[in-house]
A and B are shown apart, each in its own frame.
Chain A
Amino acid sequence: MRHMSDRMDDQIDARIRETLQRSAPQIPEDVSARFDDALSEAVEQEKIHKWKRKWWQKPAVASLITACLLVFVLLPNMNANISYAMQELPVIGGLIRVVTVYKQETSSEHHFQEVTKPQLEVSEESSQELKDASKLVNANVDARINQAMAEFQKEVDAYPEAYSGMMTDYEVVTNTDQWFTLRLMVYYSAASSNTEYHYYHIDKQTGEMVTLSDLFVSDYDYVEKFSKEVKKQMHDRMKKDENITYMIAGEDDFGGGFSAIDPEQNFYWDEEGNLVLVFDKYAVAPGYMGCPEFTIARDLFEKHMN
């Protein structure tokens, strides 16, 4: 009996659903236009004062949505121009330049993907070491991007109806005579979002690609020293601001949490020559904290560098 009444309920539900959809008010055109304006304002985070809060009192602003659509449509055809324009940028450090390769830009009803791939180029007269190092960075970047695309494709295949997106981008973080650092960002948004930063460094003095473990003399236990420092900074920040939460192993109920840095932890140099350690989103803190960073003052490790 229960099944029968369930079935009847289902039928009624289906009819209500359908009748309600049919009688629902359509969004009027003028409202729709103001909706777009409100959306643009929201993403531009314009501070709207109370007295001019009614968006229909504002002149229509160029809709970002239109801009988005244009970008999607035009980019594939503009590849050659973009690459050309990138080449006109000043040469980095006199030796390395970064060229953007727009490899792929696709969007469909439920998914979109925008892959921006950087490639390092070094001048002809560079040392063999530097040429090799830039090739190595390129290979690493390639591998990381291919992996991200494959992971995203898996997600799309598994959940074709779910909205998801994936994007990669990059930034040159450091550009001095001594040092070159490239940051590759991989941003996923499936049912959720995740951000990964990957740093690639070249020591221009030696012309070699460098990771964290290459920086210090072998008898300096940087993992232990830096982990202690990171933990101390986590505690200090949580004490100062109750909105800040870090997950520290053995200190709360989260399970897991931070115990020590990875020997090859992501890092970059700040302008004062301090070392900034970067953690992945969700690795040591809840998602809203983003990718947490901790600065290790240079006096702590300076004497122990290679």
Chain B
Amino acid sequence: MPENWKKKWFCSKVQELKAPMWGLAIGLMKHPQDAEDAIQNALMLAYEHIDELSFAEKFKPWIMRILTNECYRLLKKRKLYVDIDEVYDLQDEHSGFDEDVTLWQVVENLKLEYRTVILLFYYEGMSIRQIAHTLDLSEDNVKKRLSRARGKLREYLEKEDL
């Protein structure tokens, strides 16, 4: 397989996805340096495994899956996995939003499991099926998480309407 073409193809594909990759990484990692680390590792991994991109898969969900997994790996490694800095738990009664909080910030403060499905579904535009594949979850499980997290976001939108 011609190496130079693979490079060109990969570069052009990634260039198109720079913004959404950054959004996903910063949304999951929260800290810019961690997000950059995750992206760097994900790009390395993706290019090493580019030949495994199978027939049915599109490039975007493929690389987003690699990036998501890399973010998870780093979060786990840095023990950020526990929800020390998760401000809003879905269960808590905290329903007051500061006036200048954006929807993005609301999402950033969700627990990781909700944050991920929200970002992949609403921000990356991935299907339930692709998300299930990415996170190694059942489609039902993804739907469940999504509908619970959606409640929180709906609350925000209703507040914004007032």
Contact = CB atoms under 8 A, between A and B. Distances in A.
B5 A169 contact: yes
Contacts of B7: 43, 64, 68
B104 A12 contact: no
A87 to B, nearest CB: 22
Contact of A193 (B43, B51, B104): B51
Interface in A9-42: 12-13, 15-17, 19-28, 31-32, 34-35, 38-39, 41-42
Interface in B1-45: 1-2, 5-16, 18-19, 21-23, 26-27, 32-33, 36-37, 39-40, 43-44
Contacts of A287: 51-52, 54-55
Contacts of A290: 1, 51
B36 to A, nearest CB: 6
B136 to A, nearest CB: 20
Interface of A: 12-13, 15-17, 19-28, 31-32, 34-35, 38-39, 41-43, 45, 48, 53-56, 64-65, 68, 71, 107, 112, 114, 162-163, 165, 167, 169, 185, 187, 189, 191-193, 195, 287-288, 290-291
Given A20-B103, A68-B12, A162 B58 contact: yes
Given A12-B150, A191-B55, A23 B103 contact: yes
Nearest to A25: B26
B160 to A, nearest CB: 8
A31 B16 CA distance: 15
A16 B153 contact: yes
Contacts of B53: 192-193
Contacts of B23: 24-25, 27
Contact of B54 (A20, A42, A187, A192): A192
Given A12-B154, A64-B11, A65-B15, A24 B52 contact: no
Interface of B: 1-2, 5-16, 18-19, 21-23, 26-27, 32-33, 36-37, 39-40, 43-44, 46-48, 50-59, 102-105, 107, 118, 122-123, 125, 150, 153-154, 157
Given A23-B102, A38-B40, A287-B54, A189 B9 contact: yes
A187 B10 CA distance: 13
A110 B52 CA distance: 21
Contacts of B39: 35, 38
Contact of A20 (B11, B52, B122): B122
Contacts of B18: 27, 32, 35
B123 A20 contact: yes
A15 B51 contact: no
Contacts of B14: 39
Given A53-B40, A163-B58, 15 more contacts: A12-B157, A13-B122, A20-B123, A23-B104, A27-B18, A28-B32, A38-B39, A42-B44, A42-B46, A43-B6, A68-B11, A191-B59, A192-B57, A193-B50, A288-B51
21 contacts: A15-B157, A16-B154, A17-B123, A19-B103, A19-B157, A20-B103, A24-B104, A27-B22, A35-B18, A38-B39, A43-B6, A43-B11, A43-B47, A45-B47, A68-B7, A112-B12, A163-B59, A191-B58, A193-B1, A195-B1, A290-B51
A107 B15 CA distance: 14
Contact of A16 (B1, B10, B58, B157): B157
Nearest to B104: A23
B154 to A, nearest CB: 6
